[in-house]
């Protein structure tokens, strides 16, 4: 027989000899997970069955976590990166009696995961959805699902702790922030490229507070990992600069404890614990097979597995006497003592360091500091103007001066995206300086997105930047930002064919449409320097939504606000920038970003010809759609059907505002490599073209007798 065949026919292993309450608790995790999946007739039972001892050891013996207050700031974080094994986490949350927390961070009396929620696993409105969801289920530290996202987010959490400690730990309070971050991952996480990006950066930064636990079970949905994955993971991580240790049997609590202590004693690098396990442990016909991965075991196999555990075969969702008490005396008692001691310490800290304590309070509650918007720049009218990435740099630095926990960086593009915090002492975040506010993510856009999510989850206010075309590399992480309602700030520059000679590989066309299609994401493409400032004001006041700020590389005119409407209109998503004189408009231009100035030129020409035109600057569809009907109709009157949208991008979605017979001056192909002026001419972005389009629209919609 081949090694793979041997694995497929391997008999169930005998259970180890453990003190009865320990073994009973572990088997309760296993059987709750099996029963939940079986009742739903959907899910992944095998990994919870295999890793129940690992989760038990970590939570009961090592995790600094208070089930009564699952959001206290210095708790250890546990991330289930293998989100398909969600029943493992739900079983833990239930058995440790983690309390529910409101959106205002108030601890409620009820448990986060009652037994009825487990019985309703994967059913509508259950607190136990198919994959763990942040905000939906208290005790879930981050939404996981797409493999590799969880471990990559954990890197952001670990970075966040190092930054918090560097800024707020003070003499006598050296341990104010010293939490660890644990992430449980599997073969799928290891195969996804995002985890390689994140692990490489974590090793470079020597994040000694980070521990990944790798479930090495050799099974994926299609079968044994030998089908596609034969690399030496341990050697790879040693090459990244990680400390690597191994546990040869997932059931060996003594060796698991030794591995966790090894992590805690390692002070100069992150740790990978490789745990060899048997998926579907105890199931006589499905252990070590893909049949235990992505489908229920079946009633008979569940019954036989329970027999192997010495469990009542016909009892479902059974929690034996003593199990709840056992967890109360373990993680419950230890966690409460740690939590209470920390809050006693923070009370003393507030007396000695009141300003820093006030910062912490505001940060943890996502409040802005007093005077955060002081010193924001104002830009005079200027026909030449400046690139919106340049005005954004000035706004960012004005805010950063007054908001110390605004931190971030770029994927190796800081000099181009203009996102460096330049104030004295800001510094660069590195293994030698965890207090730095400027981050260097390297050329790792996907991991950068996930790391920003992790930073936001520890309540700092992060931003990350890159060229807009590379949003394609980040979309998975950004989708989770939106799903978790995290106020992450994404700054993208080089937003159009304005990239010029770099050509179509670097010229975003469809990316605006992609971003606008994502629920919960706020995209803003400002027209000039003053709209940029207003955009930053809006973004900083978002509490539960990520924002995308889309900026130009090329200079754009700074609009004369004594002649046209104030830039403050940006806060409502769209506003009348220039209006018709002598009556209602007969045609409306609607534009974003650099194209707004072009519309103003066309407006002036039409006005000279006696044509009543209106220009609407629409920097954010999402903000505009959130306005009341009366306001929306005051900006885009339904009776004015002659409309022209102008955007150097795909026209996808613009018919919502122009109507089915409106005109969209856009780009219907990829770009080209040439100087900007040549490109604008080639693709029809000229005053003459806009004027012609407006007149055609007027003729099309002229009342017919």
Instruction: Point out the residues that are catalytic.
Output: 445
**Beta carbons of 96 and 332 less than 8 angstroms apart:** yes
Q: How many CB atoms lie within 10 A of CB 369?
A: 16
- Beta bridge partners of residue 210, listed in sequence order: 181
Cα(245)–Cα(234) distance, integer angstroms: 8
155, 390, 347, 113: which is closest to 270 by C-alpha? 155
**Beta carbons of 637 and 580 less than 8 angstroms apart:** no
Cα(176)–Cα(353) distance, integer angstroms: 12
Q: Which residues does 235 contact at the CB level (< 8 Å), separation at least 6?
A: none
- CA atoms lying within 13 Å on the CB side of residue 130: 10
Cα(650)–Cα(668) distance, integer angstroms: 6
- CA atoms lying within 13 Å on the CB side of residue 308: 22
**Beta carbons of 453 and 480 less than 8 angstroms apart:** yes
232 exposed, middle or buried (CB, 10 Å; 0-12, 13-18, 19+)?
Answer: exposed
- Beta bridge partners of residue 408, listed in sequence order: 438, 463
Instruction: Please tell me what DSSP assigns to residue 537.
Output: H
Helix (H, G, I), strand (E, B) or coil at 659: coil
**Residue 68 — left, alpha, or beta (φ > 0 → left; ψ -120 to 50 → alpha)?**
alpha
Cα(225)–Cα(239) distance, integer angstroms: 22
**Beta carbons of 488 and 548 less than 8 angstroms apart:** no
Torsion of CA 607, 613, 617, 621, to 10 degrees: -170
Q: How many CB atoms lie within 10 A of CB 426?
A: 18
Instruction: Please tell me what DSSP assigns to residue 113.
Output: S
310, 304, 305, 302: which is closest to 40 by C-alpha? 302
> Residue 482 to residues 293, 301, 646: CA-CA distances in angstroms?
28, 39, 27
Q: How many CB atoms lie within 10 A of CB 19?
A: 9
The DSSP string of 204-222 is: HHT-TTEEEEEEE--EETT
Cα(385)–Cα(80) distance, integer angstroms: 49
Sign of CA dihedral 448, 626, 140, 49: negative
Residues in the chain: 705
Helix (H, G, I), strand (E, B) or coil at 281: coil
Cα(182)–Cα(677) distance, integer angstroms: 53
**Beta carbons of 229 and 191 less than 8 angstroms apart:** yes
- Beta bridge partners of residue 556, listed in sequence order: 386
Backbone angles phi, psi at 552, to 5 degrees: -90, 155
Cα(446)–Cα(198) distance, integer angstroms: 9
3-state secondary structure 493-530: ECCCHHHHHHCHHHCCCCHHHHHHCCCCCEEECCCCHH
**Beta carbons of 555 and 385 less than 8 angstroms apart:** yes
**H/E element, 200:** helix 193-205
């Amino acid at each position: 027989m081949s090694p793979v065949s041997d694995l497929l026919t391997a008999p169930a292993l005998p259970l180890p000899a453990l003190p009865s309450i320990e073994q009973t608790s572990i088997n309760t995790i296993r059987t709750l997970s099996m029963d939940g999946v079986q009742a739903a007739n959907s899910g992944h039972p095998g990994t919870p069955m295999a890793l129940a001892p690992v989760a038990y050891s970590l939570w009961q013996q090592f995790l600094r976590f208070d089930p009564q207050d699952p959001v206290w700031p210095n708790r250890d974080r546990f991330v289930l990166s293998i989100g398909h094994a969600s029943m493992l986490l739900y079983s833990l949350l239930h058995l440790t009696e983690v309390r529910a927390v409101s959106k205002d961070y108030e601890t409620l009396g009820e448990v986060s995961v009652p037994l009825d929620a487990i019985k309703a696993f994967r059913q509508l409105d259950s607190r136990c959805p198919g994959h763990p969801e942040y905000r939906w289920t208290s005790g879930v530290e981050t939404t996981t699902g797409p493999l590799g996202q969880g471990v990559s987010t954990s890197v952001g959490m670990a970075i966040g702790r190092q930054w918090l400690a560097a800024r707020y730990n003070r003499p006598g309070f050296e341990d104010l922030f010293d939490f660890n971050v644990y992430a449980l991952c599997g073969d799928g996480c290891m195969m996804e490229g995002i985890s390689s990006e994140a692990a490489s950066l974590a090793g470079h930064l020597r994040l000694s507070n980070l521990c990944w636990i790798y479930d090495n079970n050799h099974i994926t949905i299609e079968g044994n990992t030998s089908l596609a994955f034969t690399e030496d993971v341990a050697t790879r991580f040693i090459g990244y600069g990680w400390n690597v240790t191994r546990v040869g049997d997932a059931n060996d609590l003594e060796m698991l404890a030794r591995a966790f202590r090894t992590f805690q004693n390692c002070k100069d690098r992150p740790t990978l614990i490789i745990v060899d396990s048997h998926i579907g442990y105890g199931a006589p016909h499905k252990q070590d097979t893909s049949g235990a991965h992505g489908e229920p075991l079946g009633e008979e196999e569940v019954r036989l597995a329970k027999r192997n555990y010495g469990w009542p075969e016909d009892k479902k969702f059974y929690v034996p006497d003593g199990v709840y008490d056992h967890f109360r005396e373990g993680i419950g008692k230890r966690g409460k003592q740690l939590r209470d001691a920390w809050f006693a310490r923070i009370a003393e800290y507030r007396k000695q360091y009141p300003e820093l304590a006030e910062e912490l309070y505001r940060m943890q509650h996502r409040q802005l500091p007093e005077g955060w918007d002081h010193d924001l720049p104002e830009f005079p009218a200027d026909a030449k103007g400046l690139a919106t990435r340049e005005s954004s740099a000035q706004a960012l630095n004005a805010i950063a001066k007054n908001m110390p926990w605004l931190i971030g960086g770029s994927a190796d593009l800081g000099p181009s995206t203009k996102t460096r915090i330049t104030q004295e002492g800001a510094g660069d975040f590195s293994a030698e300086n965890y207090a730095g506010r400027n981050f260097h993510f390297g050329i790792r856009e996907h991991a950068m997105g996930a790391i920003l999510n992790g930073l936001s989850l520890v309540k700092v206010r992060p931003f990350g930047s890159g060229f807009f075309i590379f949003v394609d590399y980040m979309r998975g992480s950004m989708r989770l930002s939106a799903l978790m309602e995290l106020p992450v700030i994404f700054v993208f520059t080089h937003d159009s064919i304005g990239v010029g000679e770099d050509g179509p590989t670097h010229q975003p066309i469809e990316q605006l449409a992609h971003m606008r299609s994502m629920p919960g994401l706020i995209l803003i493409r400002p027209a000039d320097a003053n709209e940029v400032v207003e955009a930053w004001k809006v973004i900083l006041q978002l509490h539960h939504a990520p924002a995308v700020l889309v900026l130009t590389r090329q200079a754009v005119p700074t609009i004369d606000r004594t002649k046209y409407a104030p830039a403050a209109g940006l806060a409502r998503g769209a506003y009348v920038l220039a209006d018709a004189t002598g009556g209602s408009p007969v045609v409306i231009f609607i534009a974003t970003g650099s194209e707004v100035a072009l519309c103003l030129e066309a407006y002036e020409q039409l006005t000279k010809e006696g044509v009543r035109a209106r220009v609407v600057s629409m920097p954010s569809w999402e903000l505009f759609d959130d306005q009341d009907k009366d306001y929306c109709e005051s900006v885009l009157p339904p009776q004015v059907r002659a409309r022209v949208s102008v955007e150097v991008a795909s026209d996808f979605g613009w018919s919502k505002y122009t109507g089915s017979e409106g005109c969209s001056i856009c780009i219907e192909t990829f770009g080209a490599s040439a100087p900007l002026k040549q490109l604008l001419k080639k693709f029809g972005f000229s005053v003459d073209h806009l004027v012609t389009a407006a007149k055609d629209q007027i003729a099309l919609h002229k009342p017919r007798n």
